Amino acid sequence: MKLWFKIFITSLFLVVAVINITAAVILTNNRTLMITRERSRAVASHEFICAGLKNNVAYERLRSDRFVMSKSDIDDIVRNTILKQSDDGDIAIIYDKKGEVARAGSDKVNPSGLPEKIKNKDDVFSLIKDVNESSYIFVASEIILEDNEYYVITSNDITEIYTEGARQLKFVQVISVVLACVTAIFLLIMIKLFLRPLAEINRSINEISEGNYSKRLKTAGSEELRTLSENINKMAGSVEKNYNRIEAVAEERKRFIDSLAHEIKTPLTSILGFADILRIKKNISPEELGEYSGIIVDEAKRIRSLSGKLMELISSGNGTLELKPVNTENILEDLKIVFMPIVQAKGIALTVECEPLMINADEDIFKSLIYNLLDNAVKASCEGGKIHLSCKRDGVYAVISVRDNGIGITEEDRRHIFEAFYMADKSRSRKQGGAGLGLALCSEIAKKHNAEITLESTPGKGTDVRVRIKISGVSGNEV
């Protein structure tokens, strides 16, 4: 069941119920007032008849100059009085001893049983009783005429009051139906108007769910609808932002995989080619065997290096690193031990200068960052070159620098140097087993450590790469 229909049915039911209840209360109150007024009139008429009986008896006694009148004379006076008062309603006089009834008016009203109800009553007694589809107010009281007890019972027809009440009730029912129809039309129009913004919101949400994440709702209408529209706009904004981020990541990974496939194709082609030569060629000299085998080994090493760095790049981009206090001096000294044989073999001078500072880092991953920077510096340096590795304090930051006097990097290449698979000098990098993943890996690792990595370079003069990371403390060891 739709919301508008629920609101419509509920509202219509409440309106009709209120109208009918109000009408019923008013009609009931009106009928009660009319009955009360009719009861008062009937009691007044009854008391007037009783007073007339007493006055007539007293008058006849005085006129006949009697001290006490006989019961037969009193009965005659009662009958004559009742006949004179018959126009005011049905009147019955009940004799207490014999049970004789002196009646005036129609015989349709049977007062039997009423005397028993007014026994032991000190005042006038009245009740409403239905007789033959008619309603009457009976008023009864006991009077003493010359030491004779009589019950005087009068009745007034109030059927018209109930008939009028039923007529009014029927009229109210008809009016109720008419008002219900009018109210239903009015409610339907108003509900449709009030819920129109919800329909617009629903259409907008459908558009967003179908991929139109730039869709925004108008913040108009009531306060509740404005709040709802604002919240939906916030949700759509967050969805659009996340969608764009995921789309960018997906596009980057696609480009990453395409570049990886391209990079692997070259060494695999070389390996397959020279392996095929070794398989097919029957007469192969030891020199050729050594040359071809060396090429296969070099290309295999390149693939291994490529896959290893790729895994490092992927693992650094996903997951959360466990950062602990690490001494920069220990990291630089360990790397110095690793690279010293390499630089000595190439005739490169490596110097290390470190101020012992404590940083929060994943030691192995952060060491991989500096390792890649040193590896790039070695590849960019020629025999006789110099590499300087240092760590210095700059306010609340530790700045780790890898500076060389190698071939340098052009301004155009610096714009893309931290992109995966980008190589400034592709022929030179491939000869040295590079794949363009080192600096991209360094950038990812720096982001994971909330560090900043910058690069300054001049072609032909060298490159200076700096990693700026916040200090967590100062080591107790001194250089």
pLDDT, tens digit, 9 for 90 and up, residues 240-270: 888 788 887 777 667 656 655 655 665 676 6
Q: Looking at the chain, which residues constitute the CATH 3.30.565.10 domain(s)? A: 321-474
Given a cut of 90, whether residue 400 has pLDDT beyond it is yes
In the chain, the amino acid numbered 121 is K
Distances (CA, A) of 153 to 106, 117, 142, 149: 14, 12, 9, 13
Q: Looking at the chain, which residues constitute the CATH 3.30.450 domain(s)? A: 3-166
Report yes or no: 151 and 49 within 8 Å, Cβ to Cβ. no
Give the CATH number of domain 215-319; options: 1.10.287.130, 3.40.50.300, 3.20.20.70, 3.40.50.720. Answer: 1.10.287.130
Work out whether the CA dihedral 194, 200, 205, 210 comes out positive or negative.
Answer: positive
Given a cut of 50, whether residue 477 has pLDDT beyond it is no
Q: Looking at the chain, which residues constitute the CATH 1.10.287.130 domain(s)? A: 215-319
Report yes or no: 155 and 89 within 8 Å, Cβ to Cβ. yes
Identify the pLDDT of residue 119.
59
CATH dotted code for 3-166: 3.30.450
Identify the pLDDT of residue 115.
63
Q: What pLDDT, in 10s, does the model give residues 33-62?
A: 998 898 898 888 888 888 888 888 888 888
Distances (CA, A) of 36 to 40, 121, 135, 136: 6, 21, 14, 13
- Give all strands of the β-sheet with 134-145 in edge-to-edge order: 101-104, 90-95, 148-157, 134-145, 125-131
Q: What pLDDT, in 10s, does the model give residues 438-472?
A: 577 678 778 888 899 888 888 888 899 999 999 98
In the chain, the amino acid numbered 212 is N
Distance CA 180, CA 176 (A): 6
Q: What percent of the chain has pLDDT over 70?
A: 76
Q: What is the pTM of this model?
A: 0.43
Report yes or no: 453 and 440 within 8 Å, Cβ to Cβ. no
**Nearest CA to 129 among 147, 113, 106?**
113
Distance CA 71, CA 54 (A): 14
Q: Using H for helix, E for strand and C for coil, what is the string for the chain?
A: CCHHHHHHHHHHHHHHHHHHHHHHHHHHHHHHHHHHHHHHHHHHHHHHHHHHHHHHHHHHHHHCCCCCCCHHHHHHHHHHHHHHCHHHCEEEEEECCCCCEEEECCCCCCCCCHHHHHCCCCCCEEEEEEECCEEEEEEEEEEEECCEEEEEEEEEECHHHHHHHHHHHHHHHHHHHHHHHHHHHHHHHHHHHHHHHHHHHHHHHHHHHCCCCCCCCCCCCCHHHHHHHHHHHHHHHHHHHHHHHHHHHHHHHHHHHHHHHHHHHHHHHHHHHHHHHHHHCCCCCHHHHHHHHHHHHHHHHHHHHHHHHHHHHHHHHCCCCCCEEEEHHHHHHHHHHHHHHHHHHHCCEEEEEECCEEEEECHHHHHHHHHHHHHHHHHHCCCCCEEEEEEEEECCEEEEEEEECCCCCCHHHHCCCCCCCCCCCHHHHHHCCCCCCHHHHHHHHHHHCCCEEEEEEECCCEEEEEEEEEEEEECCCCC
CATH dotted code for 321-474: 3.30.565.10
Residues in the chain: 479
Identify the pLDDT of residue 120.
55
The pair phi, psi for residue 156, each rounded to 5°, is: -130, 130
Identify the pLDDT of residue 399.
95
Identify the pLDDT of residue 413.
64
**Nearest CA to 402 among 359, 350, 459?**
350
Give the residue-averaged pLDDT of 279-290: 80
Q: What pLDDT, in 10s, does the model give residues 78-132?
A: 888 777 766 556 677 776 666 677 777 665 556 566 666 665 556 777 888 877 7
Burial class from Cβ neighbours inside 10 Å (0-12, 13-18, 19+) for residue 123 reads exposed
Report yes or no: 128 and 32 within 8 Å, Cβ to Cβ. no
Distances (CA, A) of 337 to 110, 345, 348, 381: 131, 14, 14, 19
**Nearest CA to 305 among 247, 243, 232, 372?**
372
